[in-house]
Chains A and B, each alone.
Chain A
């Protein structure tokens, strides 16, 4: 049982490049989330989805886009990467509407130079 899988694990981008982070879950969860984690800032919600075909903005959505074409996948896109987007990105999923419990992937460490 893989749980939540994120790819890639590491990535280095140059300013202005684009990339897509992939999150896949095999628990049939309705809800999926993308967070970023920066030192001393805890986790901040970027976007989330309450079901296939739906997305919603979180606390820090600017510079990111998401898509949930299939229930098991949640994609996070950076169209034009900036150094401020250097961070560790975590995907999570949950079964119910109370955002609990969240099941996390092991993260993608992104560096933008």
Chain B
């Protein structure tokens, strides 16, 4: 079963616009991570936010975490065509051993 569920499943925007993807999860977590996957490639780690953090930034990426709502969002500002990829959230919970559980992903298309 999937711990995280991304919303929307697919998103199409113009270059320069902002892209927001949401992730909801079901159980208490230790950390939540976001990954990017380009077509035909493996996943690449973007950012990790711990359960006691509310917001983190990395370049054009901004991640928020609301543990009371069991949700997270990933904002990509000033998107570029190169940002076209699938984005996955993944959760780690201490009571799940060393397992990282992934959601189904959001497919982002940035049109030039």
Contact = CB atoms under 8 A, between A and B. Distances in A.
Contacts, number: 69
A41 B6 CA distance: 11
A48 B2 contact: no
Contact of A98 (B31, B42, B101): B31
B42 A4 contact: yes
Task: Kindly state the interface size class of chain B when it binds its partner.
Answer: 20 to 34
Interface in B67-112: 88, 90, 92, 97-105
Interface in B13-48: 30-31, 33, 35, 40-45, 48
A45 interface: yes
A48 B96 CA distance: 12
A99 B99 contact: yes
Contacts of A58: 99
Nearest to B9: A40
B99 A48 contact: yes
B99 A59 contact: yes
A74 interface: no
Contacts of A102: 33, 35, 43, 45, 90, 100
Contacts of B40: 106-107
Most chain A CB inside 10 Å of its own CB: which residue of B98, B101, B104: B98
A60 to B, nearest CB: 10
A42 B100 contact: no
Contact of B92 (A35, A50, A100): A100
Contacts of A43: 43, 88, 90, 102
Given A59-B99, A90-B43, A92-B42, 13 more contacts: A35-B102, A42-B2, A42-B103, A43-B88, A92-B43, A99-B99, A100-B45, A101-B33, A101-B48, A102-B43, A102-B45, A106-B42, A107-B42
6 contacts: A31-B98, A44-B102, A58-B99, A99-B98, A102-B45, A106-B40
Going nearest first, the 4 A-B pairs with the smallest beta carbon separation are A104-B42, A101-B45, A99-B100, A43-B102
Interface of B: 1-2, 4, 30-31, 33, 35, 40-45, 48, 88, 90, 92, 97-105
